[in-house]
């Protein structure tokens, strides 16, 4: 299956692209803006699925989705986001998206969802649609303390726990606790996933 993954965060492209490619059944191409995605789609490239980041340059809300769908000659186009609400997800489906993927999805679920959408089936996680509005609309920034945001910033720069401890003048064990708390609050699977979510949400 040929996939086009479009996101303006290099960490997202590298992490998701590498993970999907490693499955052995996906040929993944990447780009960093809606304009670049539409250009690739328009160059008679037969993608089985196009995945667009909701907040990357050129998207302008869901207008970018409509542009990509118009350029895709009927091929499936889906939206992914770490911050969009379920109302946005529903609107995306109403406008013709084949699916909506929260960036907090577990890796195995992500692979299954991509495979499902590439076969032409609509996909939105039920637990996402059933989430309480109060929780869904709470900005991620309000969930984190100032210290946790500092640690998250270090993760996004690729710093180790030891380097973070030295930079913030804390014990390494304290950094480990902050990383664990960050992963829990952001529903991240690991420190790389937490950094990816933080970048997407504009926390750093």
Taking 60 as the threshold, does the pLDDT of residue 137 lie above it? no
Residue pLDDT, tens place only, 138-155 = 466 677 888 888 999 899
**CATH 3.40.50.740 assigned to 140-201:** no
Question: CB of 196 within 8 A of CB of 83?
Answer: no
Separation between Cα atoms, residue 179 and residue 198, nearest integer Å: 12
Question: CB of 148 within 8 A of CB of 178?
Answer: yes
Taking 50 as the threshold, does the pLDDT of residue 198 lie above it? yes
Pick the range with the lowest mean pLDDT from 38-42, 186-190, 199-203: 199-203
Read off the pLDDT of each residue in 185-189 and give the average, rounded to a whole number.
87
Distances (CA, A) of 6 to 55, 64, 123, 131, 180: 11, 12, 18, 26, 29
Pick the range with the lowest mean pLDDT from 15-19, 134-138, 165-169, 170-174: 134-138
Domains in the chain: boundaries: 2-132, 140-201
Find all residues with CB under 8 Å of 76, minimum gap 6, and list them: 48, 49, 50, 98, 99, 117, 118, 120
- The CATH classification number of 2-132 equals 3.40.50.2300
Residue pLDDT, tens place only, 51-98 = 999 989 899 889 999 999 998 888 899 999 887 888 888 899 999 999
The DSSP call for residue 95 is: T
Share the mean pLDDT of the chain: 86
The DSSP call for residue 203 is: -
Question: CB of 33 within 8 A of CB of 8?
Answer: yes
């Amino acid at each position: 299956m040929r996939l086009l993954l479009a996101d303006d965060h290099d960490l997202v492209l590298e992490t998701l692209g590498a993970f999907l490619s490693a499955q052995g059944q996906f040929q993944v191409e990447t780009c960093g803006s809606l304009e670049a995605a539409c250009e690739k789609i328009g160059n008679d490239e037969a993608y089985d699925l196009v995945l667009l980041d909701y907040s990357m340059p050129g998207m302008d809300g869901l207008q970018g989705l409509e542009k990509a769908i118009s350029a895709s000659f009927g091929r499936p186009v889906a939206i992914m986001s770490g911050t969009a609400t379920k109302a946005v997800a529903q609107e995306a489906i109403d406008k013709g998206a084949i699916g909506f993927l929260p960036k907090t999805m577990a890796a195995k679920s992500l692979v299954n969802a991509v495979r499902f959408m590439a076969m032409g089936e609509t996909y939105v996680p039920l637990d996402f649609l059933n989430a309480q509005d109060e929780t869904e609309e709470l900005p991620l920034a309000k969930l984190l303390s100032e210290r946790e945001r500092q640690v998250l910033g270090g993760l996004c720069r690729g710093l180790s726990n030891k380097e973070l401890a030295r930079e913030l003048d804390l014990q390494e064990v304290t950094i480990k606790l902050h990383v664990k708390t960050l992963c829990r609050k952001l529903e991240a699977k690991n420190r790389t996933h937490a950094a990816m979510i933080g970048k997407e949400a504009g926390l750093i």
